[in-house]
Amino acid sequence: MAVIGVGIDVCDVDRFAAALRRTPSLAERLFTEAERPLPVSSLAARFAAKEALAKALGAPRGMAWHDAEVVREESGRPRFDVRGTVRARADALGVVHVHLSLSHDAGIASAMVVLEG
């Protein structure tokens, strides 16, 4: 398999929490119903993950935030469930596997995405 794309993003957790307080509709716009109840550090990591995924996909316009949902496997490992606009872009690029790594420490959330085809 070949690497098709790589994306990385970081998010200041306190700044992200302030944005969510300032704009209550932001959580609904960015996150699925299943993601929204998570702690703010996890939401910041998921935001970074969605940004990293968009970068890995070439940052095309028109992708919907809800079309990339970060879920946890039974083992605790994070992965994406992609659908709709995100699935269409991934398919167009020939993506067959999406690798995702998340972290949050010292007030910073980070994510890295590697796309394989």
Q: What is the pLDDT of residue 60?
A: 83
Residues composing the chain: 117
Q: 59-87: per-residue pLDDT in tens?
A: 888 899 999 999 999 999 999 999 999 99
Strand residues in the chain grouped as ranges (E): 3-12, 68-72, 78-82, 97-105, 108-116
Q: 18-63: per-residue pLDDT in tens?
A: 999 999 899 999 999 999 999 999 999 999 999 999 999 998 888 9
Distance CA 69, CA 4 (A): 20
Classify domain 3-116 at the CATH topology level. Answer: Ribosomal Protein L22; Chain A (3.90.470)
Q: What is the pLDDT of residue 57?
A: 97
- DSSP state at residue 6: E
Cα→Cα distances 58→5, 46, 91, Å: 8, 18, 13
- Domain residue ranges of the chain, discontinuous segments joined by +: 3-116
β-partners of residue 109 are 11, 104
